[in-house]
Structure 1
Amino acid sequence: MVMAIMSAYTTRSMAQADELQQLALNIEKLTQFKAILSDMKKGYAIYQQGYGLVSNISKGNFDLHHVYLTGLMAVSPAVRNNPRVAQIIEQQSGLMNEYKRYAMCFRQSGSFAAGELAYFERVYGQLIHQSNINADQLADVATAGKLRMSDDDRLTAIERIYSQSSDQLQFLRWFNRKAILLSLGRSKDLQDTRMLKSLYGLK
């Protein structure tokens, strides 16, 4: 009986020792988990700070780019008020007026065959086409929100358009003078020459 009691006591003591040992292990694991959670929390805080910093830098970078690109879409007074813009428009108007006037004069003169008049129209048509391209390019360069260009690029483009427009107008005038001389050279007599000069606005 005593042996049975002692055996039971020993078994119970061993069980309690096992429970105490398991409890100690559990406390140790819990302490480790707390340390891991603490490290994770610190790591997450560092991540959040780093992400926030990167996000802010990235946003700041985007804002800078946005301001820069928006600025490129704007047209400054230096571009808008450039005297070349008005000169190009004047040249375009002059080209249209002179083309219409002399195309009509050459038809009325009686100096040219139908094939020659058709050739004149083709030359005029090409000039008008090029002039329209210039007008479109000028509108794009001088209008806000059309193209992303710096002021220097816009001013360079305006100078190029002005040069092309000048060349076209000069060519038109040279072409018309040649045609007028050919018409006068074909006049039959003095009266015919006077009539043609009057038609062309010559003295």
Structure 2
Amino acid sequence: MAEQIAAYQVYLGAIRKGYNIAEKGLNTANDLKNGTFSLHDAYLTSLEQVSPAVKRDPKGRAIDSLYRQACSLFANEKQWQEKSQMLTASERRYFDKVSGSLLDKAKLDIDELVQVLTPGKLQLTDAERLSRLDKIYERVKDKYAFAGHFTAKCRKLALQRQAYKKDKAKMKELYGIQ
């Protein structure tokens, strides 16, 4: 029995040694995992930050400026059209519908711009943020160009009607028509 107890003591020592090795291995694996997790966490957190290079990109300010100019174009044209009274009621409603729709879409672009330039909103690399700025800029530039073209066409139509009205009045005056 003493031999069995001695053998059990040897086995117990081997088991303890095995448990210690396993415990150290698991702790090492846990430390490695936590270290990797910390690296991933740091990387993902860095993606939420907006670098100074992205903040200084002039396209951000240009996008905002183009949006404001498009709003101003529509507001000024609407005011002029209401004053001149050359467009019909249905044409004025169409003008309002087109301008409202375009400005709503441009507002979505501005909202996306805010997300791209605000830390913590999106997880993007600097290259992805700059790419997004380029795309937003192109969309807003296109909307601004359309706003300019559309308002110019509306103004031209109204001016043609004014000229026609003046010509008609002049002809009546010349020929004595009442």
Render the CA deviation track for 1:15-67: whole Å, top value 9, x for unaligned.
xxxxxxxxxxx212211211221111111111111111111110111011011
Give the aligned partner of residue 189 of structure 1.
Answer: 166
Distance 2:157 2:72 in 1: 21
Give the aligned partner of residue 3 of structure 1.
Answer: none
Give the aligned partner of residue 62 of structure 1.
Answer: 37
Instruction: Supply the AA of the counterpart residue of 2:128.
Output: D
TM-score when normalising by structure 1: 0.79
Which structure would you say has the larger RCO, counting Cα contacts within 8 Å and 6 or more residues apart? 2
Q: Secondary structure at the match of 1:146?
A: coil
Aligned-residue Cα RMSD (Å) equals 1.2
Give the aligned partner of residue 177 of structure 1.
Answer: 152
Instruction: Supply the AA of the counterpart residue of 2:166.
Output: D
Give the aligned partner of residue 117 of structure 1.
Answer: 92
Give the aligned partner of residue 39 of structure 1.
Answer: 14
Distance 1:30 1:186 in 2: 116
Aligned residue pair count:
166
Give the aligned partner of residue 95 of structure 1.
Answer: 70
Q: How does 1:79-94 map to 2 (within 5 A)?
A: 79-94=54-69
Distance 1:103 1:48 in 2: 77
Render the CA deviation track for 1:138-185: whole Å, top value 9, x for unaligned.
000001000000000000000000000100000000001111111111
Distance 2:153 2:12 in 1: 94
Q: How does 1:147-186 map to 2 (within 5 A)?
A: 147-186=122-161
Distance 1:97 1:150 in 2: 34
User: Unaligned regions of 5+ residues in structure 1, if any?
Assistant: 1-25, 193-203
Report the Cα offset of residue 124 of structure 1.
Answer: 0.5
User: Unaligned regions of 5+ residues in structure 2, if any?
Assistant: 170-178
Instruction: Supply the AA of the counterpart residue of 2:7.
Output: Q
Distance 1:131 1:46 in 2: 64
Runs of 4+ deviating beyond 2 Å: none
Distance 1:71 1:124 in 2: 39
Give the aligned partner of residue 47 of structure 2.
Answer: 72
Instruction: Supply the AA of the counterpart residue of 2:4.
Output: K
Q: Secondary structure at the match of 1:104?
A: helix
Report the Cα offset of residue 75 of structure 1.
Answer: 0.3
Q: Which protein has the larger Cα radius of gyration, Structure 1 or Structure 2?
A: 1
TM-score when normalising by structure 2: 0.90
